[in-house]
A = this chain, B = another copy of it.
Amino acid sequence: MLKFLPQGGVCTPQGFKASGVAAGIKESGLSDVALLYSTVPAQCFGTFTTNKVQAAPVLFDKKVLESNSRVAGIIVNSGNANACTGHTGYQNTVDMAVQVQELLGLASNQVLVCSTGVIGQLLPMGKVRKGIDLAVTALKDDASTEFSQAIMTTDTVHKTLGAELQTESGVVKIGGACKGSGMIHPNMATMLAFITTDIELPVNFAGEFKAWVNQSFNAITVDGDTSTNDSCILLANGASGIKYEDLSLSEQGQYRRAMEDLMRELALKIVRDGEGATKLVEVKVEKAPNNAEALQMARFISTSNLVKTAMFGQDPNWGRILSSAGSSGASLNPDLVDLYFDDVLVLEQGQPTQADLNALSAVVKKEEYQIRLVLNLGNATASAFTCDLSYDYVKINAEYTT
């Protein structure tokens, strides 16, 4: 039995402590340093941005994980991305990790660092150091909310979720927090996600982890179009005493689905909080010749400004959707396509239907709906989740650093 815990988060699984404090990095005075601590070093899986410009903490974390797959702490600052900051920036990341390591009495190479915020400015290290001291002191067992608040940048809500799964071996827990709201071009808006679990996962679970990320955080982003700082990190500390291998095959399936569901729910929180967003729309491509083309088309449509402004205008402008599909590079025969808004069929075998305009209008006025493009070329399906493009997106992004 899977049970979601809406108030849960990174501290939901056993053996995780966290904190979130204000160090003055953000001018607003809001909390900006977050710490996640696993009392037992946890098996760690991470995926990082594929951008050729990578922030200092990304370079650092990748190096740590090459030498060591168990991690005890993650220190995060918001308000400054520590990207494009050269050697000084990298040294600042190292200093952050070392400070946490010493304060928590850890072995070396057991602390990861994440930063998010403005690019190209050196971290105010005096404030950061003070923040880390505070964060270590503030560590507690139930700080899921504080942690998720301290990692926010342009987010308007903090994003946290927990889940527990009853198995024959006992209760296994999963928790997570993420931040990010620049959904229009998620490529350059840092997305950070932290997932915790108290099961012991196999060392060779990297493929599973990558699959979960693809179906959650990568379904709201464009592959290869990532920011300088994007990171998704999973810590599995085994504190429940339960090993994944000890679960029955059916329970293993339930656990994998639980992880997938929790990560997708967290990802959708990012879309719902898209900068200026008023809608959450699933773009689902069905009956494509293969998965890669299905995903390519779903992602292409879901990042089209013309499609997204039409969503904001509550306009069922299927012409823009079809045109976008046609320019995605994926296979398409315009004479075979069916197109739905929820259950309303607007295009059948490439020809406009006599759709009920009232029903259609009702769909696009909803806060969440589905656009379904059936290509009738094969059996592959893929979804991308997107939000609309509104005045407020422009406002937020035009004014971000000035």
A73 CB within 8 Å of chain B: no
Chain B residues lying within 8 Å of A317, measured Cβ to Cβ, are 119, 400-401
A225 CB within 8 Å of chain B: yes
* A contact patch SS: loop
A51 CB within 8 Å of chain B: yes
A314 to B120, CA, bound (A): 17
* Chain B residue with the shortest CB-CB distance to A398: B313
A228 CB within 8 Å of chain B: yes
A86 CB within 8 Å of chain B: yes
Taking a contact as CB atoms closer than 8 A, the residue among B53, B119, B327, B332 that contacts A188 in the complex is B327
Q: Are B84 and A350 neighbours in the complex by a CB distance under 8 Å?
A: yes
A399 CB within 8 Å of chain B: yes
A352 CB within 8 Å of chain B: yes
A347 to B78, CA, bound (A): 23
What's the least CB distance linking A250 to chain B, in Å?
Answer: 41
Chain B residues lying within 8 Å of A309, measured Cβ to Cβ, are 393-394, 397-398
Q: Give 1 or 0 for each of A294-316: 1 = CB within 8 Å of chain B CB.
A: 00000000001110011011110
A319 CB within 8 Å of chain B: yes
A323 to B228, CA, bound (A): 6
Chain B residues lying within 8 Å of A327, measured Cβ to Cβ, are 50-53, 187-188, 224-227
Chain B residues lying within 8 Å of A226, measured Cβ to Cβ, are 327
Category for how many chain A residues contact B: 35 or more
Chain B residues lying within 8 Å of A305, measured Cβ to Cβ, are 184-185, 305, 389, 393, 397
Q: Give 1 or 0 for each of A101-135: 1 = CB within 8 Å of chain B CB.
A: 00000000000000000111100000000000000
What's the least CB distance linking A401 to chain B, in Å?
Answer: 5
Chain B residues lying within 8 Å of A395, measured Cβ to Cβ, are 391
A400 to B323, CA, bound (A): 15
A323 to B187, CA, bound (A): 9
A54 to B323, CA, bound (A): 8
What's the least CB distance linking A399 to chain B, in Å?
Answer: 6
In the A-B complex, list the 6 residue pairs whose CB atoms are closest, starting with the nearest. A119-B319, A313-B398, A53-B326, A309-B397, A52-B326, A120-B319
